[in-house]
Chains A and B, each alone.
Chain A
């Protein structure tokens, strides 16, 4: 089995290379890349500078025509387009090995910093969503299995079905309208991850904090001056709805998986043996059956690694959160390829290690599994 895991670890490298080479090739082949964009931008600036009236004509001119070849070379160099593809790729790879992800074309900032800045946001949302989903789904699934066919089971199946059919972001939009817009209720904030003015703070926090303590000399509200408790409350208050949306995604599948898996195991022969031994029902269910039912769920647990970089663009967009999902999506649209490649590289590594972790958990929980 050790040999199997060593082999899996060794396979990470070629898989990583494969994925990144494909992505890199795509960035080179897809039209409208960073170079064209830059040229467009420069031409537009030029046209604006010359004269507003005749600007329309320049649209039909050869895009490279009006750019001096010297700056064109410079641009190509900037985007590594002056070298053949494989050379540029190896250059990127070399930098990656020193954890240098390059600089964003759009933000003019190291990609690493861009990601690092958003990392805590993704981490909190990803991890809370992930663990809350397990925390809610497993007990719910167990209860549903034990009360199979009861009103509770039927009703919760309805809820699960709704959760399964409505995408998280759409549900988020609904929640915002109902609970945050003030049209119906005004319980939650409209978005962002923290409150920006003293007045908008949740009343519990406002009652705990004195205005003078949390504003600077010019009377501007400073969130960081809030006490730890207030910050936690304010964060939770902002995170509640988006986290709920993140949860919705895995909640339905996890609940049904737990229920079905437990039901299936409750019908197994070994359960009858356990009862025949005189074990208490709780012991039969929570020791004998549950361990077996957790086998399919353990597989998913390995993917906890990839939630470190989680971020759904749509949910972030609905809740106005500047997270990794939003960054990734806008970088693709804006052909900000260093950012795209950086996020892709990190995600690939996390997913590959997550898969191996899943296998390890699988082997730990089920003694029959012996990977060869």
Chain B
């Protein structure tokens, strides 16, 4: 896997008060369950800047997908509903848009790719049709222009003989190739933001590396100006992202530059995650499973700190009070009472 050269300029970006491309404010999403409404994510805040790759990590069930789907307003309703917050993109709150206004954002300004390349493409339509469809939905182009655009994009994502393969169906491609097709149909309209929800989890290691390289390349070529990369894999984040958000129990627990998060994690959860990372001599391929216990279901979330059931540093007040996000001088945000104790 090639490492991202722009990693060095992250501090510069950090210092300049640039305007974020996307800004999520106090997002809250609830699901209707048999036992009443349950809050899947709440108090989610983060910014995505133009040109960056932002990592979103956390164990299974921590609310990463729900957050990503909220940005696209694709939460399945019912049972889900965005019950609070703002998603600001180009100074407009996406949550306030009408359905048809939002439709013109999806695929055109903000695109999304999913975890399962095997099922995310429609099995009964050719890949050419599926890529062309994105173009023809958002731009007034002739069939022929759309065709050429699709061929170009498929070539750009590394489909060999793209022109000849336009008429082929998804089942005629391997998993890695299908994920490339997914990326092509997401990026064919040159969106400003690409939300990638575990784009490599379902692939084998070699293919994972290839897809990640492709994403970095596309990010550098500004095909996808900003990428929100959701993943389980901290090693991938370390190599590709400039900034990281750590989620747990539907909350952002810690966020900051990759450097800060990896070198000086302040949240006990982040520290636990990092301990689960293999050392330099091991193969960088381990799931985040070193923290004892399981992520509580959204129905029996603890009332205080979401992590209090598994935290090694848990204190009395952790069970009672949920900590706010504490801002550190270096820009790092940490949701833990320990930081307050430290400050006082």
- Listed in ascending order, the chain A residues whose CB lies under 8 Å from chain B are 268-270, 272-280, 288, 291-292, 295, 365-368
| CB <8 Å contact, A268 and B119 | yes
Q: Taking chain A's interface residues, is the majority helix, strand, or loop, or is none over half, making it mixed?
A: helix
Given contact pairs A273-B122, A368-B123, enumerate 12 new A-B contacts (beta carbons under 8 Å).
Answer: A268-B119, A269-B119, A272-B74, A274-B122, A276-B111, A278-B108, A279-B107, A288-B125, A291-B124, A292-B122, A292-B123, A366-B124
State in angstroms the CA–CA spacing of A277 and B107 once bound together. Answer: 4
Against A, the Cβ 8 Å flags (1 = close, 0 = not) of B71-109 are 010100000000000000000000000000001111110
The number of residue pairs between A and B whose CB atoms lie closer than 8 Å in the complex comes to: 72
Asked if B171 is at the interface of the complex by the 8 Å CB criterion, the answer is yes
Beyond A269-B114, A278-B108, A279-B137, whether A367 also contacts B169 by CB under 8 A is yes
Against A, the Cβ 8 Å flags (1 = close, 0 = not) of B111-125 are 110101001111111
State in angstroms the CA–CA spacing of A295 and B125 once bound together. Answer: 13
Find A273's partner among B104, B114, B138, B171 (CB 8 Å cutoff).
B114
| 270-289 of chain B: CB within 8 A of chain A | none
State in angstroms the CA–CA spacing of A123 and B312 once bound together. Answer: 78
Find A278's partner among B122, B124, B134, B169 (CB 8 Å cutoff).
B134
Asked if B217 is at the interface of the complex by the 8 Å CB criterion, the answer is no
Q: For residue A266, which residue of chain B has the nearest CB? A: B76
| CB <8 Å contact, B122 and A277 | no
Asked if B29 is at the interface of the complex by the 8 Å CB criterion, the answer is no
Instruction: Chain A residues near B185: list those with CB within 8 A.
Output: 273, 277
State in angstroms the CA–CA spacing of A272 and B106 once bound together. Answer: 12
Asked if B53 is at the interface of the complex by the 8 Å CB criterion, the answer is no
| CB <8 Å contact, A278 and B137 | yes
Beyond A292-B124, A366-B124, whether A279 also contacts B133 by CB under 8 A is yes
Q: Give the Cβ gap from A61 to chain B, nearest Cβ, in Å.
A: 72
Instruction: Chain A residues near B66: list those with CB within 8 A.
Output: none
Q: For residue B99, which residue of chain A has the nearest CB? A: A281
State in angstroms the CA–CA spacing of A145 and B116 once bound together. Answer: 25
Q: For residue B73, which residue of chain A has the nearest CB? A: A275
Asked if B182 is at the interface of the complex by the 8 Å CB criterion, the answer is yes
State in angstroms the CA–CA spacing of A133 and B112 once bound together. Answer: 40
| CB <8 Å contact, B107 and A276 | yes
State in angstroms the CA–CA spacing of A16 and B124 once bound together. Answer: 35
State in angstroms the CA–CA spacing of A274 and B72 once bound together. Answer: 12
List 27 interface pairs A-B (beta carbons < 8 Å), by A numbering. A269-B114, A270-B119, A270-B121, A272-B74, A272-B114, A273-B114, A273-B121, A273-B122, A273-B182, A275-B106, A276-B186, A277-B106, A277-B133, A277-B185, A278-B103, A278-B104, A278-B108, A279-B133, A279-B137, A288-B122, A291-B125, A292-B122, A295-B124, A366-B123, A367-B126, A368-B124, A368-B171
Closest 4 CB pairs of A and B: A278-B107, A278-B106, A269-B119, A277-B107
Find B122's partner among A270, A280, A295 (CB 8 Å cutoff).
A270
